[in-house]
Amino acid sequence: MKSSKDKITKTNAARLLDKAGIAYELIPYTVDPDNLAADHVAEELGEDINTVFKTLVLNGEKTGHFVCVIPGNMEVDLKKAAKVAGAKKAEMIPMKELLGVTGYIRGGCSPIGMKKAFPTFFHTTALDYAEIYVSAGVRGLQIRIAPADLVKFCGATVADIAVDK
């Protein structure tokens, strides 16, 4: 039996999913401040790196900010991402801008509940799994969720936006 001390504090992302009636599970993990990489998160969770997705924020030339959610073992393909976002070119936003743009910090950026709704794109492999993991909005906490539910909730598009590292 878990005591109230063990209770996981719900994040804004979790509250938004609750409000929408979407099933998910909050999964805590041990944070290594020196290693915020998705492969470390997957290792801590004991899960396949292909199911642990990272949320990246890009800026498209003329289109502004957009979000790419890709497997932890892949890198965003800037050309493909720009194309699906309708931009000529795209680049990752500088890390120092992440909090101001999204309300989230590196290692805790969730595709759910950003300060503003940005166009969001999930890599095609998200739909290959019954469940995937994304950040719950803080370091040390992931959301396990059916990808189709998450894509629909985010109003996202599924596209080929990443390449193997």
Over residues 86-106, the pLDDT tens digits come to: 999 999 999 999 999 999 999
Torsion-angle region of 120 (φ positive above 0: left; ψ -120 to 50: alpha; else: beta): beta
Task: Report the pLDDT value the prediction gives residue 8, as an integer from 0 to 100.
Answer: 80
Q: What is the mean predicted confidence (pLDDT) over 63-70? A: 97
Q: What is the mean predicted confidence (pLDDT) over 33-41? A: 93
Over residues 106-125, the pLDDT tens digits come to: 999 999 999 999 999 999 99
Task: Report the pLDDT value the prediction gives residue 165, as an integer from 0 to 100.
Answer: 85
Q: Is 115 exposed, middle or buried (0-12, 13-18, 19+ CB in 10 A)?
A: exposed
Task: Report the pLDDT value the prediction gives residue 105, as an integer from 0 to 100.
Answer: 96
Mean pLDDT of the chain: 94
CA distances in angstroms from 105 to 57, 110, 133, 164, listed in the order given: 11, 9, 17, 25
Over residues 152-165, the pLDDT tens digits come to: 999 999 999 999 98
Residue 2 pLDDT greater than 70, yes or no: no
Cβ neighbours for 121, distance < 8 A, ≥ 6 positions apart:
66, 67, 68, 69, 81, 84, 85, 156, 157, 158, 159, 161
Over residues 73-83, the pLDDT tens digits come to: 999 999 999 99
Residue 1 pLDDT greater than 60, yes or no: no
Residue 6 — pLDDT band, cuts 50, 70, 90? Answer: low
Q: What is the mean predicted confidence (pLDDT) over 39-65? A: 96
In angstroms, rounded to a whole number, what is the distance separating the alpha carbons of residues 34 and 41? 12
Alpha helices in the chain (DSSP H): 12-20, 38-45, 78-85, 98-102, 147-154
